[in-house]
Copies of this chain bind each other. A is one copy, B any other.
Amino acid sequence: MDEKKISKAVINRLPRYYRYLGDLLEKDVVRISSKELSEMMSVTASQIRQDLNNFGGFGQQGYGYNVDYLYAEIGKILGLDKQHNIIIIGAGNLGQALANYADFERRGFTLKSLFDIDPKLIGNEIRGIKIRPIDELESYMKENYVDIAAITVPRFNASEIANNLAKWGIKAMWNFAPTDLNLPKDIVVENVHLAESLLRLSFRLSSNKSN
């Protein structure tokens, strides 16, 4: 499989396929046609066939897709067959929300540590994982293998922390700080800008009203 051929639009849709297939698995559904999947997902059946054909076409005419197999294959494409170590920088409400999201564990993301600057938080445990002082981040990064750092610190701290993490060998950042991180190209940055999402909602709400 040549990953470079798969368009960004298809990649962006894969996590949604993965979610629906996971739901079907939980309901013990063994196979599903592109038509059924299409109705569930409100996507055309031809789009589903086209998307899934990118991965060698796991479906069979008249039989449909094997849910278990397709789930596992998409999981592999998404890199979920590997274990990922994750740390969270910023153990406030948002950091704690991420730390408590047990689904991540199930998908191979192992929370290794949290870091914060607030003495009231340092030493506390979340799901048995201790919150460390941010001063220990450098030594922690040198002594441990970390793939992903979730950044939930305020905007004005985020860039410095991100630059340091890059220097200390982080592979990817899941950035919740409302700022754009300027990092070397080989570091993956996935942004979740909550404020921008709310502004898009506001725009749509306000154009709705004026219709």
Contact = CB atoms under 8 A, between A and B. Distances in A.
A93 interface: yes
A96 interface: yes
Interface in A168-211: 171-172, 174, 178, 180, 182, 186, 188, 190, 192-210
Interface residues of A, number: 59
B204 A188 contact: yes
Task: State the copy count for this chain.
Answer: 2
Contact of A206 (B82, B190, B197): B82
A182 B190 CA distance: 27
A199 B194 CA distance: 18
A29 interface: no
A30 interface: no
A79 interface: yes
A25 interface: no
A interface secondary structure, majority: helix
Contact of A190 (B15, B97, B197): B197
A11 B206 CA distance: 13
A12 B200 contact: yes
Given A97-B97, A198-B109, A193 B15 contact: yes
Contact of A93 (B4, B19, B96, B171): B96
Interface stretch (A54-62, A98-106, A133-141): A98-106
B205 A147 contact: yes
A206 B42 CA distance: 29
A52 interface: no
